Amino acid sequence: MKKILTSLSGLITLTLLIISCSDGGKKIQGHWNIVEYDCIFTSSHQLTTITTYPRLLFSFYPDGTFNCNTDCNALSGNYIADDTNLSFSDISSTEIACENELIERSLKVLIPEVETYELSGDSIINMYDKKGSLLIRLSRR
């Protein structure tokens, strides 16, 4: 009897852990503006503010996919998120020749490097790499 209760308790704990982890990613679902990014073409590692491209959109969908529209091309793929961890996989992009690809070329490098995130209120997402460096900042649309 004690063995059954221990097994049942472990199963309930595991179920609650899975449910609590899977709910964390729901907070970031939706549409976001890309407002700042760490430009890979500078050595300062300071965020570059985007002011001239209002069409830059980053979307997290409930099915675990994402889409990122830059000023010319789009990136898409899969993501996994819990309360603090965020990772991207199976990333693909369109390859239209553009006059200025600075932002999208940076995002192609930065997005796979994201490992954690911080949600400020319900309006800002900060994405960090494994060293804790801020790579991308989004604001809710």
Residue 136: half-sphere exposure toward Cβ, Cα within 13 Å:
27
Structure confidence by residue, pLDDT tens digits, 50-97 = 876 567 899 999 999 999 998 788 999 999 999 999 999 999 999 888
- Domain with 132 in it: what CATH number? 2.40.128.270
Q: Are 88 and 116 in contact (CB under 8 A)?
A: no
Domain count, the chain: 1
Structure confidence by residue, pLDDT tens digits, 23-59 = 668 999 999 999 999 988 886 778 988 876 567 899 9
Residue 57: half-sphere exposure toward Cβ, Cα within 13 Å:
12
Query: Given a cut of 70, is residue 114 above it in pLDDT?
Result: yes
Q: Are 55 and 69 in contact (CB under 8 A)?
A: yes
Query: Given a cut of 90, is residue 18 above it in pLDDT?
Result: no
The pTM (predicted TM-score) of the whole model is 0.79
Domain extent for 69: 2-140
Q: Cβ neighbours of residue 54 under 8 Å, at least 6 residues apart?
A: 33
